[in-house]
Amino acid sequence: LAKTTQPISMDSYEGQEVNITCSHNNIATNDYITWYQQFPSQGPRFIIQGYKTKVTNEVASLFIPADRKSSTLSLPRVSLSDTAVYYCLVGLTGANNLFFGTGTRLTVIP
């Protein structure tokens, strides 16, 4: 079971870049790394997914080193609306290892 370790919480000022690191030391060869965002009273929402190196989309970047034992979600120039819980998820949909963990609570300060 590829469990993950993330910081419990982080604070950042508006306009700054935020990097949230996730450790997944026992990631399996076929596992993907997926990040979700969750606002209060809502279900989680997919942000980004990757397997290795770097992935970028319109909202975030995901950096994965060669050993894949960790990954970093990068949010450029955060705003107050980015205040949420961010979950790092490692695994395959078809396998019995979907584990969200406790996530990282990001608070963006004006």
Partner 1 sequence: EAGVVQSPRYKIIEKKQPVAFWCNPISGHNTLYWYLQNLGQGPELLIRYENEEAVDDSQLPKDRFSAERLKGVDSTLKIQPAELGDSAVYLCASSLGTSGRVDEQFFGPGTRLTVL
Q: Which residues bind partner 1 (CB under 8 A)?
A: 32, 34, 36, 41-46, 49, 85, 87, 91-94, 96, 98-103
HSE value, Cβ hemisphere, 13 Å, CA-based, for 7: 13
3-class SS of residue 47: strand
Of residues 49 and 72, the one with the C-beta less far from partner 1: 49
Which residues, other chains included, contact 58 with Cβ-Cβ below 8 Å and sequence gap of 6+?
Answer: none
**Rounded least distance, CB 39 to partner 1, Å:** 10
Largest CA distance in the chain: 42
**Rounded least distance, CB 89 to partner 1, Å:** 8
**Rounded least distance, CB 8 to partner 1, Å:** 10
